[in-house]
Amino acid sequence: MAVLTFLSDFGADSHYMASFRGAMYKANLQIPFIEITSRIEPFDIVEAAYLSSMVYRDFSEGSIHILATNVVGTSFNGHLAAYYNGHYFLAPDNGILSLIFGENFRDYYLIPTERYEQKIQNVYLPFIAQLAAGKQLIEIAHKADSVQISTRITTVNDGLELRGTVLFVDHFGNAYTNISKEEFTDFTRDSAYIINLGKHTHVKEISNDFSDVKEGDELCYFSDHGYLVVSIKKSSAERLLNFRKYKPLIIQKV
């Protein structure tokens, strides 16, 4: 079943979220609504794009994903819609979608609006109603001539080191990096390695899950979505290892 998802930096107790929900029910939009999170760091489109890229495939094709990050109290460049890997995405023209699709994606559409709207539901809900009715993007919007493009934070592999970056820290203090399982496997193939977690702290192997280590021990594992995660069993890698957003993670061959 296709659903409408919502990911934002509005905050858990924000009136922005309540206002959007109220407008959706008032419009009698008959599509299941799922809030992924409203706890994105304010204005952080990198974190928002990273989370969206991890989870959108978990929903049925045809689902519509709203990325409302860095949209309140910022300059207005319009709003975009796109169809990517069987899913619809709606977001402000602030570069966030290019962090998911890549810099070479160009099939963007302008969501029609005649003026600046402080409440994004006034822009998105009429558009979503048409998508839910089965209309195609090309029927209800014009192709965008130019959009804002952002550059992904990528890993660096010089043959001796693989350097990644923490892009998200969850509620438990687990630090999610941009190092994919494929990149890690290519780098460490037939070589011993260490993953540096601090000046005097490192791990020498990837764990399958938390049962591989004792309580309080550090571990690295790959999430279900294929990215390397730094954790401490029943504790916080963010607090004890200082693994905060945008901190580098270095893997070395030995």
Residues for the chain: how many in total? 254
Structural domains of the chain in order of their starting residue, each with its CATH number: 4-143 (3.40.50.10790), 156-253 (2.40.30.90)
- pLDDT, tens only, 68-109: 998 865 545 789 999 999 999 999 999 999 999 999 999 999
Spatial distance between the Cα atoms of 83 and 85, rounded to a whole number of angstroms? 7
Take residue 220 and report the two structure tokens written for it.
């690295």
- pLDDT, tens only, 10-46: 988 788 888 998 999 999 988 999 999 999 999 999 9
- pLDDT, tens only, 152-195: 999 999 999 999 999 999 999 999 999 999 999 999 998 999 99
Spatial distance between the Cα atoms of 238 and 244, rounded to a whole number of angstroms? 5
At residue 100, the pLDDT reads 97
User: By percentage, how much of the chain surpasses pLDDT 70?
Assistant: 97
**Reported pTM:** 0.90
CB atoms within 10 A of CB 223: 14
Beta carbons of 4 and 64 less than 8 angstroms apart: yes
